Amino acid sequence: MKNASNTARDSFGSSFGVLVALAGSAVGLGNLWRFPYLVGQNGGAAFIIIYLAFVLLIGIPILLAEFIIGRRSQASARAAFQALAPGGHWGIAGVLAVLCCTLILSFYSVVGGWGVEYLVKAFRFDFSSMDNESLKNLFSAFSTSTWRPLLYHTVFLGMTAGIVIGGVKNGIEKFSKVMMPLLFLIMIGIAIRSLTLPGAEAGVDYLFKPDWSKVTSGTFLAALGQAFFSLSLGSGMVITYGSYVKKDANIVSLGTQTAVADTVFALIAGCAIMPAVFAFGISPGEGPGLVFITLPHIFSQLPLGGVIAILFFFALLLAALTSAISVLEVIVAFCMEEFKIKRGLAVSLVFLVIWALGCLCSLSQGVLADWKVLGKNIFDLFDYLSANVLMLIGGLVVVVFVGWKLGRKQMRDELTNGGTLRLPNWFIDTLLFLLRFLAPAAILIIAIFQVSE
């Protein structure tokens, strides 16, 4: 299958580069607070077991399906479907993926900007003299103000664009190779400190002690949704990164390792945050406020807490950046191939569009809070449409396309690298069954649950 574009195509230089880039795409801000919270609220280790089952049965198969589309076509999200199914309307799915990433990055860069602001405050040791109420007022005043959030939204988006403009091998891969291991090391260090606090055992129990009495139908839905969204499925990110993977790489191994890395990071983040939260007798269910209000309060009470705050918010920034670059790359790759323009121009144009939409998202927290569509401000609307509509449509199209349109022969050819890798027939048949039947059913269940909320 030849590249669907006439543009010379960049690629990852190594399998490790692919792994850290994909892991970076999956590891994001949600891993730092949402996953630990879901674990504790849904039976601890019981939730983890259910979650791992869904990652194995749903997450990894869809991840591999997107890998197949990307690498087999060697093209961006829309061109990939057109290359593999010429003359059809499958390319619309690629356009929806680009739209999805545009909406995601518009509000995500605002939150990333909050992280930049708090890293600056950490370096100034601003948190050392503030109590919990002061920190709550600080976050509210900052996030609803006009100019400072816009400034840091611009800074964060500029950092993201600066990495992507370097290309796949010299930009995304180089950044990920250094920063992803560093991110893991920082979070491991914070986890060790958190686990040594008096009273930390309650946080460990919250995360890892099985409590099957808390398991309900909602637990299964939460685990299923987390498995889907945590791996960035249905957004075109894996398809785009997959298109840069060399033909001799083992995508079954890469897909599995990516899912494992994402889960391990989420558990490390849980060990870094929840033991400290419980050690200080604070409720763990505060969502984003846990990161920007509760944790700075905890850091201020720890020996060397100012240093720990710097490390944490630096890790937060890295997690946000590694996800943001994958989102931006989907849009940039689309523009380069569809409009036959160079990377620098594509990044610049996309930057301007995302910056403008991000400004609206940021202002919707304050001066534009009353400007609503479907009862939601712009920030929440973009979040809802991307996660609850576009990603689910994208995921459904992917599994139907690979499971039914490409079929067993082409799927096997791509997974085995043209027959050079050995995969048992039962593995291919099981994967095909999961893509044709179980994965579509799971996506529809998530969709029904989201609509009914």
Task: Output the CATH code of domain 15-452.
Answer: 1.20.1740.10
Alpha-carbon Rg for the chain in angstroms: 21
At 282 the pLDDT is 80
User: Hey, what are 149's tokens?
Assistant: 């959030």
At 183 the pLDDT is 95
At 38 the pLDDT is 86
Q: Residues in the chain with pLDDT < 50?
A: 1-7
Instruction: Supply the DSSP symbol for 303.
Output: T
Instruction: Write the pLDDT tens digit of every residue in 108-135.
Output: 999 999 999 999 999 999 998 788 889 8
Q: What's the pTM value of the predicted model, to 2 decimals?
A: 0.94
3-state helix, strand, coil in the chain (%, to 5): 75, 0, 20
β-partners of residue 373 are 376
At 255 the pLDDT is 94
CA–CA separation, 138 and 54 (whole Å) = 39
At 355 the pLDDT is 98
At 307 the pLDDT is 94
Q: Are 330 and 76 in contact (CB under 8 A)?
A: yes
Where are the domains positioned within the chain? 15-452
At 1 the pLDDT is 45
- Alpha carbon 223 to its chain's center: 16
- Who's near 377: CB < 8 A, 6+ residues apart? 364, 365, 368, 369, 371
At 285 the pLDDT is 67
